[in-house]
Structure 1
Amino acid sequence: MTSRMSVLVLGGSSDIGRAAARAFAKAGYDVGLAGRDVAALEPDAADLRARYNIEVGLFKFDVLDAASFDGFVASLPALPDVVISTVGLLGVQQNAESDLAHATTIMRSNYEGPSLILGLFAEKFLARGNGTIVGVSSVAGDRGRASNYVYGSAKAGFSAFLSGLRARCSRSGVHVVTVKPGFVRTKMTEGMKLIGPLTVDPPVVGKAILNAVEKKADIVYVSGIWRLVMLIIKTLPEAVFKKLKF
């Protein structure tokens, strides 16, 4: 055991998960990486250990297997100081419109699973009296768009869950952060037409998450312009909004 602070990254093999792990490791945190394929996490763990001289643990975690969540948390050698969920699945909107299994997977990956596991950590943190929970949501949840409303609706639910959890925990020593990255250049967005000024790279998101934890921020739009963009979009009358092609 060390005296360093610790962070657990759920979805540790994702681009944002890797970036968050590196940002916290650089700041001196011991790191736990959790994902479905533990072997795939090994190279990142080795790099973090060599580069930052910290302890790195690897854990198997499947966000779609809610029945395993209690056992997963119980199996951790110690509760982390910070837990971050970077889990998510964009999916294919057109497929989700007719394929109920695909739509279900998108909804469970972005809302049900992340909410349930973070809620479980919240109970543990509240019992301990401290801890920080970070949920990576999306600007897509600020208002449903025709092009990705299945994904967007799941992220909207996740943001609402984090908001309620934050309010509940606010006077109990446990802090909850909602991070909305906007467009990020990742494997998930590969092939998509991204808008340059509204797009960031994963390391920017990782640093934003660390900064939000250290400053005890509540809701963070990684690229500040997104706050203004989504404010405008949210205030558009429905009659106007539904005619937009995006």
Structure 2
Amino acid sequence: MTQILIVGATSAIARGCAFAWAKQGQRLVLAGRDMAELERISRDIRLRFASHVQVAALDLDDADQLSARWDDLETAHGHMDGVLMAAGWMPDDSDAMRRDTPALQVLARNFTGPVALLNAAADAFAARKHGFIVGIGSVAGDRGRQSNYVYGAAKGGFSIYLAGLRNRLFADGVSVLTVKPGFVDTRMTWGLPGLFLVADPMVLGEQIVSAQAAGKNTVYLPSFWRLIMLIIQHVPEFVFKRLKL
């Protein structure tokens, strides 16, 4: 039986993955900042699937302490066989583009914090020659757009980090999956203008778990986003900079 740490477990995508893994009988450790919500989700999973679920407090804003926090988690809950990094934060970019705290928080919660924790996980998995990592990126990281370029920069950096980690860990038998969702029906996207083809996070959870089991490297979800982003990436810069995206 596999034990999986789900970071950012209160997110809708993380919950979809948790349900999919729980159906398989996997052991879960749900980690995040909102302990009351984590407890609620864990009770729901136990009732639905009779699964072994634990919860743990984890704050990615405190990057300097995350290596030690990984050790604490394994001491308290046992060795992890996999990690889903689903934490993230997307504020209104008019806030994120200011010079003070919001932009730095976007980078901390979407990039530097996840990297700090996954570095510790990668070291542990490499030493054991066993394990997997799933990182939730975003199509926003494929090209900078004026509407969310701080968030996009963090997610783009995270995707590059995961690609390098996949290269590093391949020889150790550790898989790394990068997931790039498009618009998903979550708290982060609720009420945003201009959304279309919004995906169900429960369906995405099933697809993410299947992609990990199949040994995929990078997946766009839903899959049509690969074509959409390919087109966006190939728009010439002299045209793209004039667009209101």
Please tell me whether residue 83 in structure 1 is matched to residue 88 in structure 2.
no
C-alpha distance in structure 2 between counterparts of 1:52 and 1:186, whole Å: 23
C-alpha distance in structure 2 between counterparts of 1:196 and 1:66, whole Å: 35
**Partner residue of 2:36 out of 36, 39, 62:** 39
Q: Is the 8 A contact 2:66 2:113 kept in 1?
A: no
Structure 2 gaps of 5+ residues are none
Q: Please name the residue that 1:181 is paired with.
A: 181
Show CA shifts across 1:13-66 (max 9, x none): 111111111111112211110011222211111111122122111101001111
Q: Is the 8 A contact 2:16 2:205 kept in 1?
A: yes
Q: After the TM superposition, which of the residue ranges 87-96 and 128-137 deviates more from structure 2?
A: 87-96
TM-score between the two structures when normalised by the length of structure 2: 0.95
Q: Deviation of residue 194 (structure 1)?
A: 4.8
Q: Is the 8 A contact 1:185 1:200 kept in 2?
A: yes
C-alpha distance in structure 2 between counterparts of 1:149 and 1:195, whole Å: 17
Q: Please name the residue that 1:243 is paired with.
A: 242
Q: Is the 8 A contact 2:67 2:116 kept in 1?
A: no
Identity of aligned residues (%): 43
**Partner residue of 2:54 out of 54, 57, 61:** 57
CA RMSD of aligned residues (A): 1.2
TM alignment of 1:9-48, pairs within 5 A: 9-48=6-45
Please tell me whether residue 8 in structure 1 is matched to residue 1 in structure 2.
no
Q: Please name the residue that 1:213 is paired with.
A: 212
Structure 1 gaps of 5+ residues are none
Q: Deviation of residue 181 (structure 1)?
A: 1.0
C-alpha distance in structure 1 between counterparts of 2:204 and 2:212, whole Å: 12
Q: After the TM superposition, which of the residue ranges 133-142 and 16-25 deviates more from structure 2?
A: 16-25
4+ aligned runs moved over 3 Å, structure 1? none
C-alpha distance in structure 2 between counterparts of 1:115 and 1:180, whole Å: 17
Show CA shifts across 1:103-130 (max 9, x none): 0001111111111111210110000111
- Sort the Cα spacing of 1:132 and 1:194 in 2 relative to 1 into closer, same or farther, 3 A: farther
C-alpha distance in structure 1 between counterparts of 2:208 and 2:194, whole Å: 22
C-alpha distance in structure 2 between counterparts of 1:194 and 1:34, whole Å: 32
